[in-house]
Amino acid sequence: MSYQPTLESVKTHPLPDWYHDAKFGIFIHWGLYSVPAFAPHGKDFAEKMLKGELGFGESTYAEWYQNSLRIPGSPVNQYHAKTYGPDFRYEQFAARFNEQTQKWNPDAWAELFSRAGARYVVLVTKHHDGFLMWNSRHTNPHIPNWQATRDIAGELSQAVSARQMKMGFYYSSLLDWSFTKNPITTLAGLIASSPTSRAYVDYVEKHWLELIERYDPWILWSDIGYPPGYDLPKLWAHFYNNKPDGVVNDRWMQLPKFFFNRLGRYILTKMMERMPKGETPKPVHCDFVTPEYATLDHITEHKWETCRGIGNSFGYNQFEDAEDYQKAGDLIRMLADIVSKNGNLLLNVGPRPDGSIHPAQVDALKGLGAWLEVNGEAIYGTRPWMRFTDPDAGDAQVRYTARDGALYIIITKLPENGILPLPEEAAGGSFTLLETGERLQGGSSDGNRPVVQLVLDGQENAIPVIKIQFS
């Protein structure tokens, strides 16, 4: 199918099966911010930030280091002055980062992500600081050599593709702090303080086209929004025509240029104050939407993808420890919940400057991969069932998925007595424990509801899967 550079045409793009089937991808935030690797941390702190109860200077996102550094008195500002001195500029981290990246092994990353069970990988090619993670022909007009010395995007693409995973690229379209000097301190300022010059609009377009044509990605993952004055359907049509099974996310919002002056920012602030908490404007076009550090509470018709870190930051925070990171069991339950509601999980790793990954992140990924190796049939290629859980499962907790006429029950919390109530629709089906292939003997409860007896054997924290096959 050939797409025209119009909104009507690109909106006919169907969601490809590979993305619907993949369920699990890896996000990578790696850049200059990985050198200082600092942000306020702690789960309570992170919860307050995500609820909007903290200022931008207290962000737990280490990749926002440069913005926090620009805010006088912020924790980052104080840490930076104490650690590097008040005259050390953020730009000076580039030399340290490029030196450390010489130790990076892209094949080791790709092997880890494959073992974790990921089906696609999304690399941050430019975060809000504007530093490029590939050797672009279109260099930064304000800071010399503002890009990695290694072709990180290209080398990782090769390693990922060699392991039959699909590669995608994140790019910060609306924000670029190398073009602006004032810190972001309000939500309206987050959107309205971005560069809007013709030169910046052209710069962003050239980068997206270069990434598409040089590396042939499967996913375009924009962030925050897109600068005004550009015909986005033209870019999307070019991408789809180049990669018909490619997908784009929802963070391409464009505001009229009016909102980027003082009066417009004031009006935008008032509009956002009246908007229900957590609600964002609907995109004019996307293949999937991207809640951040959040999951939905219902099955949706549209495709969605939760993005989040294993810890409370996307970029590496050296002060996070094992208690700040999700464990393998947490990730398994999270993935089961998301998939049961028609979502994907894009799970972020935040590497150190030399490309090494914190052992707690590695352990969590390997644990998730080990579970998927045995129980992946209940995840990959599935679709939501008629409901995602059973409120009448007693003290057990379950998530449902379906595939090829079979129903899968992912038991995210085992029943204390070992007796699991099954859906009424399961009556007459055969029950198999996916991990062992063992046939389970079904029975009936007092209400004639089918049940199965599980043998726990000290595995109270296990997350087994029962496959129900109907004749």
Q: What pLDDT is stored for residue 157 in this prediction?
A: 98
Does 76 score more than 80 pLDDT?
A: yes
Q: Is the pTM of this model over 0.85?
A: yes
Domain 397-469 has CATH 1.20.1630.10: no
Does 278 score more than 60 pLDDT?
A: no
Query: Do the beta carbons of residue 57 and residue 185 sit within 8 Å?
Result: yes
Least-confidence region, from 132-141, 146-155, 352-361, 449-458: 449-458
- pLDDT single digits (tens) 185-229: 988 888 778 999 999 999 999 999 999 999 999 999 999 999 999
- pLDDT single digits (tens) 175-184: 999 999 999 9
Are β-strands 442-444 and 438-440 bridged in parallel, bridged antiparallel, or unpaired? unpaired
Could you tell me the residue ranges of all domains in the chain?
A: 7-378, 397-469
Q: What pLDDT is stored for residue 469 in this prediction?
A: 93
Does 447 score more than 70 pLDDT?
A: no
User: What is the average pLDDT across 294-321?
Assistant: 96
* Distance, CA of 53 to CA of 69 (rounded, Å): 19
Question: Are the folds of 7-378 and 397-469 the same?
Answer: no
Residue where the block lists tokens 């840490």: 79
Does 270 score more than 60 pLDDT?
A: yes
* Distance, CA of 237 to CA of 217 (rounded, Å): 14
Task: Kindly state the tokens that stand for 155.
Answer: 């080398």
* Distance, CA of 471 to CA of 468 (rounded, Å): 10
Out of 3.40.50.300, 3.30.420.40, 3.30.70.940, 3.20.20.80, which CATH number does the structure's domain 7-378 have? 3.20.20.80
User: What is the average pLDDT across 450-459?
Assistant: 79
